[in-house]
Amino acid sequence: MLVYSSGLDLSTSALRLLRRELTARRRRIGTRWRRLACGRQALMALAHLRCGHTFAQLAAGFGVGLATAHRYVTEAVGVLAVLAPTLRQAMAVAARKAFVILDGTLMPIDRIADDRPFYSGKHRKHGMNVQVLTDPFGKLIWASPALAGAVHDIQAARTHGLLDALSTGGIRCWADKACQGSGPSVRVPFSGRWNKLSAGKKAVNRAHAKIRALGEQAMATLKSWRLLRKLRCSTTRISDLVKAVLALELTASA
């Protein structure tokens, strides 16, 4: 395999964060020697998350074995996933905002046609459903664990306890039509065909769409991590991958 130098469009703060956490983990578990130093292991994990490089590519680029590359990246992802905010922590942040924006996204996966639980009829592809909460400016606050793509957005929000948390905290939330019936805390646009809506309802829907458009920036931020554009791993790992990306993004924007 040919090897060449490349670069990552990430801040050094992401590298420092992951290197610090990996160093602390090695001290905690009493690691004496590793093939790669903490900084190189952190760089390998960031290359995997940001660019979607395979373990074979990483192993060749960093001069380690395939199993070692897999083990190092998995360890780094687990370290980052722990840093991601819980729903309770996210609600504490959301309570200080004027309102929050809720939206769902589908993380595409490489499933076969028989894997119907992962097939999203809305998007017509296999994937994992992830609910994302942002502030009024589109800054990420929280991302949910990944559920099968066949799960509807409102069902996913209920499964994660998000709707109850918003209602209990009295937090105003803007969402799309998929969340109709979510309760008084969640505001959704008027349903129905556009040409049959009254002028007042059309004006409300336009204003609602302008507010929710800022939430789409968070989706674009997540998909800027190329690994999340097409996941080719076990579905049990996807929640940790999303949490790891969320932790890095929150650190970079802090």
Rounded CA-CA distance 93/142 in Å is: 10
Write down the residue that tokens 């309760």 correspond to: 183
Rounded CA-CA distance 51/9 in Å is: 9
Q: What is the pLDDT of residue 113?
A: 58
Rounded CA-CA distance 118/106 in Å is: 10
Q: What is the pLDDT of residue 191?
A: 83
Rounded CA-CA distance 242/123 in Å is: 20
Rounded CA-CA distance 251/196 in Å is: 46
Rounded CA-CA distance 102/237 in Å is: 23
Rounded CA-CA distance 15/245 in Å is: 13
Helix (H) or strand (E) segment spanning residue 154: helix 153-159
Q: What is the pLDDT of residue 121?
A: 80
Helix count and strand count (H, E) for the chain: 9, 7
The type of residue at 190 is: F
Q: What is the pLDDT of residue 146?
A: 95
Question: Is 83:167 a contact under the CB 8 Å cutoff?
Answer: no
Q: What is the pLDDT of residue 185?
A: 85
Residue 17 burial (10 A CB sphere; 0-12, 13-18, 19+): buried
Look at residue 98 and give its three-state secondary structure: coil
Per-residue pLDDT of the chain (254 residues; tens, 9 = 90+): 788 888 889 989 999 999 999 999 999 999 888 999 999 999 999 999 999 999 999 999 999 999 999 999 999 999 999 999 999 999 999 999 999 999 999 999 887 655 678 888 887 888 999 999 999 998 999 999 999 988 999 999 999 999 999 999 999 999 988 888 888 889 888 888 888 888 998 999 899 888 888 888 888 888 899 999 989 888 899 999 999 999 999 987 66
Q: What is the pLDDT of residue 2?
A: 80
Predicted TM-score (pTM) of the model is: 0.90
Rounded to the nearest 10 degrees, the angle between the axes of helix 238-253 and helix 199-223 is: 100
Q: What are the φ/ψ torsions at residue 3 (nearest 5 degrees)?
A: -125, 140
Rounded CA-CA distance 104/53 in Å is: 26
Q: Which two three-digit tokens encode residue 173? A: 């939330």
Question: Is 254:133 a contact under the CB 8 Å cutoff?
Answer: no
